[in-house]
Amino acid sequence: MYRNIKKTITESLLLCDLDKKVDQPSTSKRLKLDACTSTSVQSESKLNSSDSSDIESSSPNFPISYEDSSNSDADSPIPDADSLISVSFLNDIPVSPEVPVAPDPVIPLNISRTFLKDWALCHNITHNALDALLTFLKTNPDLSDLPTSARALLNTPKSMEIEELGGGHFYYFGLAQNLTRIIELTQCDILDLDFGIDGLPIYKSSNLSFWPILCKIHKIVPPPVFTVAIFCGKSKPPLNGFFKKFIEEINLLQKNGLKVDNKIIKINIRSFLCDTPARSFIKCVTAHNGYFGCDKCIDKGNYFNRRMRFLKLHATLRTNLDFRSKNNNTHHKGESPLEKIKTIDMINSFPLDYMHSVCLGVMRKLLFEWRDGSRIYRLNAGDFDNYVKSIKHWPFEFNRKPRSILELERWKASELRQFLLYTGCVVLKKLMSPQIYANFMLLKFALTILLSNSLNNDYNHYAQTLLLIFVKNAIKIYGRDFCIYNTHSLIHLANEARLFGDLNSISCFPFENHLQVIKNLLRKPNLPLQQVIRRISERENNEQFTIIGKKCDIIKPFTSYPTDSSVFHLYEIQFLSDELVEFSAEIVMCKGVVLAFEDTFVDYYVVEFPEEADTPLAVVPYCWLDINENNKTICMWPNGFKSNKQLTNAVISKQEIPISETVPCRITVKFKTNDYEKALLVLKKMENSSSVSCLTSDGERKGKRILKCPPRYRVDDDLESSDEDSLPPVPALKIKTFVPPVLSAPTFGTSRDEIPTETQCIEMEENPAYTFIEIVHMLKRIEKLCVNNSTKIESLKNEITHLNNVIQNKDTIERTQLEIKSISTIDDLKKLEENLKSEDFFSKACQSLSILGGKDGTNTVRRIITQLLTHQFVLTLNWSGRNDKCGLKQFENVLQLILATARKNMFSKDITKQETEFILKNWLRSAGDREGGRERRRKI
């Protein structure tokens, strides 16, 4: 297009004389092209030429001059009629002789090779598309240094050492080179490696599949997953050839370590994470549907109704020694090549993965039972879907929105995890039997504990108890066929979390995500392994903050069974405050999500006041409601309005009234809505009605009483009354020494340091002295007292520590006799900087300032800088010295004095230089807000 336009304009300029002669004369200025040689020959050749590039290259050689139309050259040759182009609109445009005509501009481009690489790899651009782009970009003179082909740009390998293995092909990328590439981005002395092995079907129309060996480094967030080796074939790979190079390299790395930049890094194998079929395949043991199929305990199993059931809850656990000795011959099918790695535990190094065993296993089976199972516990699919749809907002942290239960066959593991941990407890509460719901909550709370590192450290044994009770009750509710391998594996799940820290650290989710990345590298059906190798090789060649948010005003525990849900940070809230609150990132244990229903956050309430009130009913906005000391809802009724019109306007606008102008009133909430007009209509109906209670929540009058049908669900009596399977009571707290205010887990008569084995039976009292609910309330009161007492004790502890520091430093300071006065001028600060070069003066100054103390690093540094510099002098300083202010950064001895003094305090002895500089920057930045500065600016 660019060349066609240029050709048209050139031809138009050459034909300008002819058009003016033939059409009509003009006295305006126009262009004339004077050729250096014969004009007629050149113009004719250019007009008749079919090659536009010749015109483009020769057109700049025509000198441009201006002359009157009356003096135009009459001897100009007349071109053929075929070459004439209608350009009358150009002939009518006058051209000023003062404005020269410049050649066509070339737009400069600045596209780097690195940018093209990253763009192509990020968006998985094909080589054909990238070749076409490079060819086009190279026409620009600024980009002439770009390569011509995509292979040269991306450093695509020319050859690959692919081996034939077991009817397929195998390629080994290597472990050390990948680790070296990743280690350059972090600093560590020991690498704990997790490996993932699983099959990946490539096409639906073929049996061809990938079997990669994936690896990730523990404690690196987000965990970088890379490919160590990959096999492609129509069947499973032969294990000996598949693991040969891997075992040789891992044994060498464990023996000699990994050398990076003259530093030896120790390599440890932490775990092999696989689903159950892949784990039995690489260990060469019986699958999960065979006798002795459990790879954690010696339970033979019972085959019935086409299922292998594992009903023992306290079977003997397997050990690494028993596995390598092949004591249970039925369990083994052969010798695994991984046994050649002597440093791994063939039992504990192959943990259960909760993604497959719990999410895709137990949770999925529960949903199928609730949808298609017995009428005793079957749910109405329509009610289930309607309740899910009533959730108004879904946090973006959820990768998928929940789908209908009718599409349960296509639910992904992330959807099942979301239902188990977050939405299930809300959706199912009103849809099923309380007993069945309580059994589901056992599983939910147990997984919540085991997936949290902090909760798992304290409540691991409690989670194990919950899972045991869940399995026992599930057998009674859903039958013995429910206790298949995945359900049986729940009793071993707490032990896995105890060994590895939490279940998230041994999850297969990162590996499953990377399998999709590998699959997306394919671009055509031909040579899939070679494509993946090239794409992977191309990729391989190529401070403290605060959170501002809204605070929840009305909070209460969501449930009290099997324990108080506030222990696990699960609450029911009525509405959020309009005020924004600043939270420190240090106090955030985990990120919470809010599941808001359409009728959860309301704007207006219809409330009923006591009989002695002048106005028995009223519409009030949500901001007038509050909670008193007895956890009762009250209304803060305003008493400053002089007319009903002012009161009505305040209600409609949801005006917040100062507490000093309100009177607390006892109320009963009768109706809630987001529409004021609807609330007013309900209020009028209530006032005209003889009884307020005869109205429904929608404001409609109730009809005749209709007898309810008996519930469809039926629970065995022994499920409700069995003492053996009931939740164990919370034991009394035994406090020997001061314990910080942390929510403690039930200990069941064992100390926290004592780790019980799975073979131990759980002892429970048959007749507890108190009910579970009474014990929970007692614990709440005890917890409140502990929090109050711990706060007072912590305050006293800080005061005692400060006094001890003062007493210890008093004699030293009296001997030094060095008094440092607050500095108010820049000259005094420079003098102090010079004096601090003396080691004796520096030591005495440090001793004198150490008496200031402080409860932490920030408080200590602030005390020191406040003592050293006056407020007025601080206003003339900043950190870097910009805006005509003096920079504190240049006074290195003063900064070293502040750091050394802060480290003398026991509460800030580990403070770093970077932390000290960060505190000083914030101190200087907020100097204008101190001593009434912020209030003065607000008044202005």
**What pTM was computed for the model?**
0.53
Choice among 73-82, 134-143, 256-265 with the minimum mean pLDDT: 73-82
Choice among 487-501, 529-543, 705-719 with the minimum mean pLDDT: 705-719
Extract the tokens encoding 452.
């949290």
Across 22-43, average pLDDT = 38
Choice among 174-178, 262-266, 445-449, 464-468 with the minimum mean pLDDT: 262-266
Residue 2 pLDDT exceeds 90: no
Alpha carbons 673 and 693: distance in angstroms, whole number: 17
Higher pLDDT, 594 or 897: 897
Choice among 530-534, 713-717, 835-839 with the minimum mean pLDDT: 713-717
Confidence tier at 82 by pLDDT (50, 70, 90): very low
Give the per-residue pLDDT at 106: 53
pLDDT in tens, 545-559: 445 456 666 577 777
Give the per-residue pLDDT at 383: 83
Alpha carbons 269 and 282: distance in angstroms, whole number: 16
Alpha carbons 241 and 363: distance in angstroms, whole number: 37
Residue 48 pLDDT exceeds 70: no
CA distances for 544 relative to 187, 505, 858, 926, angstroms: 21, 25, 12, 16
Give the per-residue pLDDT at 53: 37
Across 379-384, average pLDDT = 84
Report yes or no: 661 and 697 within 8 Å, Cβ to Cβ: no
Confidence tier at 792 by pLDDT (50, 70, 90): confident
Q: What backbone phi and psi angles, to 5 degrees, belong to 883?
A: 55, 45
Element (H, E) at 264: strand 263-273
DSSP assignment of 130-170: HHHHHHHHTTSGGGTTS-SSHHHHHT--S---PEEETTEEE
Across 33-45, average pLDDT = 38
Across 774-780, average pLDDT = 67
Across 260-267, average pLDDT = 84
Give the per-residue pLDDT at 471: 93
Give the per-residue pLDDT at 92: 47
Across 132-145, average pLDDT = 87
Confidence tier at 22 by pLDDT (50, 70, 90): very low
Report yes or no: 333 and 286 within 8 Å, Cβ to Cβ: yes
Tell me the torsion sign for CA atoms 356, 357, 362, 368.
positive
Give the per-residue pLDDT at 123: 85
Residue 280 pLDDT exceeds 90: yes
Give the per-residue pLDDT at 812: 54
Alpha carbons 162 and 477: distance in angstroms, whole number: 54
Extract the tokens encoding 43.
């113009």
Tell me the torsion sign for CA atoms 251, 254, 260, 264.
negative
Residue type, 505: S
DSSP class of residue 618 equals: E
Extract the tokens encoding 806.
């003062």
The single residue listed with the structure tokens 């601090």 is 836
Higher pLDDT, 21 or 358: 358
Give the per-residue pLDDT at 347: 93
Give Cα 101 to chain centroid, integer Å.
Answer: 59
pLDDT in tens, 308-346: 999 888 899 999 999 999 988 899 999 999 999 999 999
Higher pLDDT, 349 or 821: 349
The proportion of the chain whose per-residue pLDDT surpasses 90, expressed as a percent, equals 23
Give the per-residue pLDDT at 19: 43
Residue 444 pLDDT exceeds 90: yes
The single residue listed with the structure tokens 């009428």 is 375
Residue 659 pLDDT exceeds 60: yes
Report yes or no: 234 and 209 within 8 Å, Cβ to Cβ: yes
Name 773's Cβ contacts closer than 8 Å, sequence gap at least 6: 560
**Which of 454, 790, 444 has the alpha carbon at shortest distance from 589?**
454
Give the per-residue pLDDT at 854: 80
| SS3 labels along 549-586 | EEEECCEEECCCCCCCHHHHCCEEECCEEEEEEEEEHH
Extract the tokens encoding 881.
């010295």
Residue 644 pLDDT exceeds 90: no
Give the per-residue pLDDT at 786: 84
Report yes or no: 725 and 719 within 8 Å, Cβ to Cβ: yes
Across 498-508, average pLDDT = 90
CA distances for 906 relative to 318, 632, 902, angstroms: 48, 46, 9
**Which of 734, 782, 888, 776 has the alpha carbon at shortest distance from 826?**
888
Higher pLDDT, 681 or 77: 681
Residue 34 pLDDT exceeds 60: no
Residue 54 pLDDT exceeds 60: no
pLDDT in tens, 745-767: 343 333 333 434 444 333 333 33
Residue 580 pLDDT exceeds 60: no
pLDDT in tens, 393-427: 778 778 788 888 888 899 999 999 999 998 888 88
Across 797-820, average pLDDT = 63
Summary mean pLDDT of the chain: 75
Alpha carbons 875 and 872: distance in angstroms, whole number: 5
Confidence tier at 634 by pLDDT (50, 70, 90): confident
pLDDT in tens, 876-932: 888 888 888 888 888 888 888 888 888 888 778 888 888 888 888 888 888 888 877
Alpha carbons 837 and 839: distance in angstroms, whole number: 6
Report yes or no: 837 and 893 within 8 Å, Cβ to Cβ: yes
Give the per-residue pLDDT at 591: 59
pLDDT in tens, 187-213: 677 889 999 999 999 988 888 999 999
Choice among 15-24, 125-134, 569-578, 629-638 with the minimum mean pLDDT: 15-24
